[in-house]
């Protein structure tokens, strides 16, 4: 039985094609745990496959929370990378617009390894897209297992971490039996769930908790308490000392409220508003709402950046997009 029969062959082709090449592995802007683990594990496997030089590149730095999964690997800031004589691979995203490093989109684009339902064809030589995978890390681990390519203990730990972070410890609707199977294979290969959990959930910075407090203070209910929206306003990072990656997961607190069906976090950024959307039931397609504002993601977890907007003018636009979708869902239920 193969985990990813449509992709494992492509993965093997990628490993054959990197021999002797310099490869830059790109992740998306503001890398999350899935992105970081996927970049690092892929980089190791490409080296093992005979690539000459492999570097991980991202527009944003390695978040503090994932430093103990680096095992000596680094993220080269995109602004310090010249790209000369490098081929590119994107993980946990399919386009250079998501990497925030568009200037590298003209390098030979070898492959994407992605799991976002909103991703179209990437234009890479080898397109690996499995929207059913709950995490890019699940897909990457699965393709290794399908192909009999060994996974070191440190990569088992990284990939296990990636799966945990994209599935809220294997409990999102996207986490299927296959996800649990692959996660357990990673445990067999040396990932220690208790250690990973300690790293992820018992090492928060105090600054992040202050950021959470300021988000919670702004939570507002709409539409009979079915929708909950909170804000990260201008200056909040400076005030709390938090890093940008600390916003990851805050929106889950809004979603966690009983009766809330859709949650949002709107963050002031210098050129607009960054939005995170979460649903409880994937029938409420937050990826479709995000797409209305130029973003994308998964059915129950999506994001976007509304350029040139400020939170006050954008807020009612988001509300009406959500209201319209709620109405569609309600009328479909009545039928």
- Positions touching ligand AMP (CB under 6 A) are 28, 98, 116, 118, 276, 295-298, 301-305
Q: How far apart are CA 150 and CA 250, in angstroms?
A: 35
27 binds, among Mn ion, ligand AMP, none (CB under 5 to 8 A by kind): none
Question: Whose structure tokens read 């990973």?
Answer: 196
276 binds, among Mn ion, ligand AMP, none (CB under 5 to 8 A by kind): ligand AMP
Strand partners, 277: 264, 302
Q: What residues numbered 124-153 form the site for Mn ion, per CB under 5 A?
A: 136
Going through 120-226 in order, the beta strands assigned E by DSSP cover 126-129, 220-222
Backbone angles phi, psi at 265, to 5 degrees: -125, 125
With contact defined as beta carbons under 8 Å apart, do 157 and 69 qualify?
A: yes
Per CB under 5 A, 39 contacts Mn ion: no
128 binds, among Mn ion, ligand AMP, none (CB under 5 to 8 A by kind): none
Closest CA to 164 of 149, 151, 147, 179: 179
Residue 101 or 309 with smaller CB distance to Mn ion? 101
303 binds, among ligand AMP, Mn ion, none (CB under 5 to 8 A by kind): ligand AMP
Number of residues that bind Mn ion (CB under 5 A): 6
301 binds, among Mn ion, ligand AMP, none (CB under 5 to 8 A by kind): ligand AMP
136 binds, among Mn ion, ligand AMP, none (CB under 5 to 8 A by kind): Mn ion
For Mn ion, the binding residue among 92, 243, 261, 287 (CB under 5 A) is 92
DSSP string computed for 224-276: TTTEEEEEE-TTHHHHH---GGGGTTTHHHHHTSTT--EEEEEEEETTEEEEE
For Mn ion, the binding residue among 35, 62, 196, 306 (CB under 5 A) is 35
Residue 73 or 166 with smaller CB distance to Mn ion? 166
Q: How far apart are CA 257 and CA 246, in angstroms?
A: 21
Task: Give the contacts of 77 (CB within 8 A, at least 6 positions apart).
Answer: 57, 58, 59, 61
Among the listed ranges 34-42, 188-196, 230-238, 266-274, the one in contact with Mn ion (CB under 5 A) is 34-42
Task: Please state the closest distance from residue 244 (CB atom) to ligand AMP, in A.
Answer: 11
Residue 47 or 176 with smaller CB distance to ligand AMP? 176
Closest CA to 114 of 275, 298, 292: 298
158 binds, among ligand AMP, Mn ion, none (CB under 5 to 8 A by kind): none
Per CB under 5 A, 34 contacts Mn ion: yes
Task: Please state the closest distance from residue 42 (CB atom) to Mn ion, in A.
Answer: 13
Per CB under 5 A, 32 contacts Mn ion: yes
Task: Please state the closest distance from residue 212 (CB atom) to ligand AMP, in A.
Answer: 15
Task: Please state the closest distance from residue 151 (CB atom) to Mn ion, in A.
Answer: 18
Q: How far apart are CA 236 and CA 195, in angstroms?
A: 31
Report helix, strand or coil for 5.
coil
Helices and strands (H and E) in the chain: how many: 12, 12
Residue 173 or 221 with smaller CB distance to Mn ion? 173
Query: Interface with Mn ion by CB under 5 A: which residues?
Result: 32, 34-35, 92, 136, 166
């Amino acid at each position: 039985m193969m985990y990813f029969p449509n992709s494992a062959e492509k993965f093997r082709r990628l490993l054959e094609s990197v021999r002797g090449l310099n490869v830059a592995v790109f992740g998306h802007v503001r890398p999350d745990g899935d992105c970081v683990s996927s970049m690092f594990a892929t980089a190791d496997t490409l080296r093992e496959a005979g690539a000459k030089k492999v570097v991980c590149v991202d527009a944003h730095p390695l978040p503090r929370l994932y430093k103990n999964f680096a095992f000596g690997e680094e993220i080269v800031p995109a602004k310090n990378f010249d790209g000369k004589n490098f081929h590119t691979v994107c993980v946990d995203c399919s386009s250079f617009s998501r990497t925030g490093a568009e200037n590298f989109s003209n390098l030979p684009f070898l492959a994407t390894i992605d799991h976002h339902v909103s991703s179209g064809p990437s234009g890479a030589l080898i397109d690996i897209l499995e929207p059913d995978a709950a995490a890019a890390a699940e897909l990457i681990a699965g393709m290794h297992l399908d192909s009999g390519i060994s996974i070191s203990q440190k990569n088992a730990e990284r990939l296990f971490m990636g799966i945990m972070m994209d599935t809220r410890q294997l409990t999102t609707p996207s986490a299927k039996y296959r996800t649990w199977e692959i996660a357990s294979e990673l445990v067999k290969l040396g990932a220690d769930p208790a250690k990973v959990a300690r790293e992820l959930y018992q090492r928060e910075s105090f600054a992040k908790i202050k950021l959470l407090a300021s988000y919670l203070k702004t939570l507002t209910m709409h539409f009979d308490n079915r929708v909950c929206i909170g804000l990260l306003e201008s200056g909040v990072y400076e005030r709390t000392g938090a890093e940008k990656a600390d916003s990851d997961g805050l929106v889950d607190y809004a979603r966690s409220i009983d009766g809330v069906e859709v949650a949002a976090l709107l963050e002031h950024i210098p050129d607009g508003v960054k939005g995170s959307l979460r649903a409880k039931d994937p029938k409420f397609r937050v990826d479709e709402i995000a797409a209305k504002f130029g973003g994308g993601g998964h059915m129950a977890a999506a994001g976007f950046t509304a350029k040139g907007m400020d939170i006050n003018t954008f807020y009612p636009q988001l509300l009406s997009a959500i209201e319209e979708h709620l109405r569609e869902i309600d009328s479909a239920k009545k039928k």
